[in-house]
Amino acid sequence: MSGRGVWQRARARLRRFPEQLAGCGEQASAYGRCVAAASAGNAELRRDRCLREFRALQECFARA
């Protein structure tokens, strides 16, 4: 059994990623700002700190 089909599907998803990211620019920016703010200075990025922004980005990718 070959993993060829798996790699072809993975490559196809990766080829679509730039289009999806472009369509979700607002959500990606909001998530990036949240992560940058949460990890600024000596602060440590904690789990679920930017969960709301991440979920919005995830939903946008799912729609795209």
pTM: 0.70
The count of structural domains within the chain is: 1
Q: Dihedrals φ, ψ of 61, to 5°?
A: -60, -40
Mean residue pLDDT across the chain: 88
Domain hosting 45: range is 3-63
Q: Given this model, what pLDDT does residue 30 score?
A: 97
pLDDT at residue 4 greater than cutoff 60? yes
State which H helix or E strand residue 15 sits in. helix 4-23
User: Residues 30-52: pLDDT tens digits?
Assistant: 999 999 999 988 888 888 999 99
Contact of 28 with 21, CB cutoff 8 Å: yes
Q: Given this model, what pLDDT does residue 2 score?
A: 58
